[in-house]
Structure 1
Amino acid sequence: MREVDEESELESLVEWGRKLVRASADLPREALEFLGRPAPARRPAQGAVPGEMVLPQDAPEPTIRVMDFDRETLEEPTVTDVSELRGFAESSERVTWIDVEGFGSQATLEAIGETLGIHPLAMADIVHVPQRPKVELHDDHLFVVLQMARVTGFGSIDIEQISLALGENWVASFQERPGDVFDPVRARIRSATTRLRHSGADYLLYTLLDAVIDGYFPVVETLGGIVEALEEEVIHNATRASLARIHATRRTLLTLHRVQWRQRDAVNAMLRDEELPLSDNVKPYLRDVHDHAFQTLDAIETYRDMVVGLMDLHLSSASHRMNEVMKTLTVMATIFIPLTFIVGVYGMNFDYMPELRWEWGYPTVWALMLGLGGGLLLWFRHRGWLGGSA
């Protein structure tokens, strides 16, 4: 039963990819946004003070969502004042997840950093996206940078930076835009029977990390459907737009491969560094995250190789079509060469040409030309150069 469900799901993905390719068949290069484009990087000016923030223009005001829980109870208070976070950060009996969304106020972000004790350089890395995935230990908290990938809208693949900070009993997450892959984590926190409700803040950090890494699986499956649809298009009806879509798919796969490779290295660093504030109970789960990163990397590399093969196939198909056109033109020219020679000979203006005054000269020339042309056509068809079998 599970195999049937997986086959039907794969068929639906392939069909979705076909619809996506057909829908974007007549789009110009600028409109090929269904695979996403990397956002421009934000950096402080050259020579700026370390830790200085460059905020995005027209960014929404930060919204703070809190989930404070222990084995028995769960609270989800609405935080309007940053100073309220101090009570959660100083509590030693409960675990708190502080989710910050939006980078529109530097004062609010700085206040959050000061309240939680997050290093100013880490706060600058939170705002100046994109940063490479990494793990850093700052004083008494752990700082992790990840790149979250998800499918949104009409097949758009969105890649956004997620920054995580781990304290003694709290985890803070920062992202610039609404929408994330953490809804399953929230559902697990709201259930009193899950391991997450009975574990510490480091297990919450692992859960968020696992959600980000596992979020690449549906993205890779979506790209797999697109690659298979492109393969069918290149084989049966390749156009100039096909090459643009192949390049867009290849660019996205390269971006995902580069990001996931670095995230795998970051998880590996968390496994090997004994100084990080992670308990031994969490290390086996991090190995599972590391394995999931490997799996997505293998799939991405497979589809990347397929796309490279599609590019070669597209160029070979174009070359083959050009060769067919040249072959047809060559055959037509070869047929008319002897006919042109005969017409040229009898078009000369010499006084003494006996055939010009022969009664049967004109029909004889016609018969000769038709016989030569027909004979050449039959011979070319016999050779398989005009659609016949060789």
Structure 2
Amino acid sequence: MKIRLVNAGVFTPVEDIETTLTPPEKGFYWIDADIEDLALLQPLFSIHDLAVEDCLSEEEQRPKIEIYESHYFIVINSIRFDDEEIFLRALNVFLGRHYIITVTKQKIHELRALKPVLWEQEVNEPDRFLYLLIDLVVDNYFTVGDRIEARIEKLEEDILMHTKKSHLNEIIGLRSEILWLKKVLGPQKEVINTLNKKDLRLIDDQLQKYFSDIYENAVKISETFDTYRDLMGNLREAYQSSIANRANEIMRVFTAITTIFMPLTVITGIYGMNFDHIPELHWKYGYFFVISIMITLGFSMFYIFRKKEWL
């Protein structure tokens, strides 16, 4: 657990947790905690048992905001895209009048990226800290969206150039991840909308208006993922069409080959009959004559098929 006094964006480490119970003269306290630290923080800040239970739960948490007497409990999901897989990581935030507590199970990139922003904007209030943090989280969805779009474009190009069976698994996997993200974005939008519209005493009225900009971005992200979902449907149709065209191409080649060999089979069938009076059987050049006809006929049909682009 790291405790910092944030004053005009400048961090001052704090050693004693008891110090954070009293509002500082200037600035606010930021407590960056792990799950294990909740046992110490709960009695000090009167954190509700249900909020602690949500933080400790192994199940995926739905984004939400809960209002308690002395603080707000907010859950938002940070997103990561590593090794072609999408991960959501719960970011639990307790917002008080003179403090903000962030509780995470894993490292959250946005918390590290937030530090220079706090210093640059000389942040002095915990509610503005919350605004900037959520803004970074939402912006990161755009970054991940761009990477998903690039992956869709590459997958489309691969399917058109050379279709493989593995492409179907990729399409199904990516579509499932997009649908999963869509389910998360719904509640996350509602949380941001609550911060924008609801009368919240721990958030400054002037600052509250800025959450509308984040909400608009969240709506854009949701619409973007709707587009990605439709694109994945188009990709699946393109894959199936490509497979069908490939099968048709193979059948066309096989049909053409069969057609070429049909007259040759007729010729060999005629001269393979066990009749005694077939004139060419006893002709000195009969074998070479028939073979020449077969070769000429085969190449002629092949040439005609190629000219008509049937092969």
TM-score bucket of the superposed structures, by smaller chain: 0.7 to 0.9
Native 8 Å contact 1:217 1:296 kept in 2: yes
What residue ranges of structure 1 are gaps of 5+ in the alignment? 1-63, 79-83
- Residue of structure 2 in register with 1:125 after alignment: 54
User: Partners in 2 of 1:72 and 1:186 — Cα distance?
Assistant: 8
After superposition, the Cα gap between the structure-2 partners of 1:204 and 1:353, relative to the gap in structure 1 and judged at 3 Å, is: same
Structure 1 position 355, deviation (Å): 4.3
- Residue of structure 1 in register with 2:160 after alignment: 235
- Residue of structure 2 in register with 1:145 after alignment: 75
CA offsets per residue over residues 153-198 of structure 1, 9 Å max, x none? x56643211111112222111100124212342223335xx2522x
User: Partners in 1 of 2:138 and 2:9 — Cα distance?
Assistant: 29
Return the TM-score normalized by structure 1: 0.71
Give the letter for the 1:96 counterpart.
Y
- Residue of structure 2 in register with 1:65 after alignment: 2
Structure 1 position 254, deviation (Å): 2.6
User: Partners in 1 of 2:11 and 2:23 — Cα distance?
Assistant: 14
Native 8 Å contact 1:196 1:203 kept in 2: yes
- Tell me if 1:259 matches 2:192: no
Alignment partner of 1:225 out of 143, 150, 154: 150
User: Partners in 1 of 2:310 and 2:195 — Cα distance?
Assistant: 65
Return the TM-score normalized by structure 2: 0.87
Alignment partner of 2:31 out of 88, 98, 101: 98
Give the letter for the 2:128 counterpart.
Y
CA RMSD of aligned residues (A): 2.6
- Residue of structure 2 in register with 1:369 after alignment: 294
- Equivalent positions of 1:237-386 (< 5 A) are 237-274=162-199, 277-358=202-283, 361-386=286-311
Give the letter for the 2:4 counterpart.
M
User: Partners in 2 of 1:175 and 1:289 — Cα distance?
Assistant: 22
Structure number with greater Rg is 2
User: Partners in 1 of 2:278 and 2:10 — Cα distance?
Assistant: 116
Give the letter for the 2:274 counterpart.
N
CA offsets per residue over residues 122-141 of structure 1, 9 Å max, x none? 11111114111111223332
- Residue of structure 2 in register with 1:215 after alignment: 140
Give the letter for the 1:249 counterpart.
L
What residue ranges of structure 2 are gaps of 5+ in the alignment? none
- Deviation larger for 207-216 or 237-246: 237-246
After superposition, the Cα gap between the structure-2 partners of 1:174 and 1:352, relative to the gap in structure 1 and judged at 3 Å, is: same
Structure 1 position 308, deviation (Å): 2.9
- Residue of structure 1 in register with 2:123 after alignment: 196
Q: Secondary structure at the match of 2:78?
A: strand
User: Partners in 2 of 1:267 and 1:295 — Cα distance?
Assistant: 13
May I ask how many residue pairs the two structures share in their alignment? 309
User: Partners in 2 of 1:363 and 1:178 — Cα distance?
Assistant: 82
Identity across aligned pairs (percent)? 28
